[in-house]
A = this chain, B = another copy of it.
Amino acid sequence: MKKHNFSAGPCILPQVVLKKASEAILNFNDDDLSLIEISHRSKPFVEVMNKAQSLVKELLEVPDGYSVLFLQGGASMEFLMVAMNLMKVDGKAAYTNTGAWAKKAITEANSLGEAIVLGDSSDKNYNYIPKGYTIPSDVDYFHCTSNNTIYGTQMKVFPSCSTLMVCDMSSDIFSRKVDVSKFDLIYAGAQKNMGPAGTTLVIVKDEILGNTGRNIPTMLDYNTHISKGSMFNTPPVFPIYVSMLTLEWLKNLGGVEAIEKINQQKADLLYGEIDRNPLFEGTAAMEDRSNMNVCFLLTDSSKEGAFNTMWDEAGISGIKGHRSVGGYRASMYNAMPIESVQVLVDTMNKLEEN
């Protein structure tokens, strides 16, 4: 039986993608060679890289003047690279503090200059998105995190900004329409809506680079990777290939607009049950609830054993909550079918009936 995989990341990928990826490990491009044993400079792989980049541009309607990169090191490396490439020597930047990952980004910025924290929801264990702050125009850039996996919160509206706008979209990129032209730099670890762990997507407006007065080490300089089309050194071949397949799947499905509707249906279904069923309660502020990660608790903890047995028997996996929130977290990334969400809702229902 195929599991209902609610894992927070690395997470569910489309079955058709997994099938093609599995085949490519044995015989890629009908060349009788594995995808992972050919040169990254060979024509078949260069085509993969080009296609992955152009699918990102197409699906997100990336305007001209932006570069699309597939790097390594995850969002954690981008925390450093963003500051390294955009913060002037002795400069400062404004950050929102909306959770564990945002905090790590702030730490890296503080190691190179000064990070001013504008919005901070740590007072309530990050269960809401701070609003109402004004972004000063004299900072080098503004940084926010669009979705907070651990706490199940999501920015529904982005603030207006007269400085450079940078966003960590690791956990909700490709899940909803976003106006890329409003951002100067977007980054995202692949392992949620794009592909397997091991590559990081960076979308950067070329003209914002090279203005820090800082000596940037080769591998940390976005311009290094832009000038070589993400092939300065050997790229992570397999994660990029699977990302390309996943983006192709998304395109065939109707693109970001189509998946956004499906994601909304899934969210409505599960949040609807949480709000209806007296045995459950959500942890995130209503208006900031994430459509990707749904965090909830049992109102009566004595039901925990029964509920855990029930979802396990229903073939559900990966819904244990993060230790800093507790309870449950159902992650419903793009590849999660609504049928799986229905199975979870039915299980919650059944718990109430028993």
Contacts and interface: CB of A to CB of B under 8 A. Distances in A.
Contacts of A235: 197
A292 interface: no
B25 A21 contact: yes
B32 A219 contact: no
B12 A37 contact: yes
Interface residues of A, number: 62
A39 interface: yes
Contacts of A337: none
A8 to B, nearest CB: 7
Interface stretch (A73-81, A135-143, A156-164, A248-256): A73-81
A264 B269 CA distance: 64
B22 A10 contact: no
Nearest to A23: B22
A7 to B, nearest CB: 5
Interface string A60-75: 0000000000001111
Interface string A16-28: 0011011101100
A308 interface: no
Contacts of A5: 33, 37-38
Interface of A: 1-3, 5, 7-13, 18-19, 21-23, 25-26, 31-34, 36-40, 72-77, 79-80, 104, 107-108, 111-112, 189, 191, 196-199, 215, 217-220, 232-239, 242, 317-318
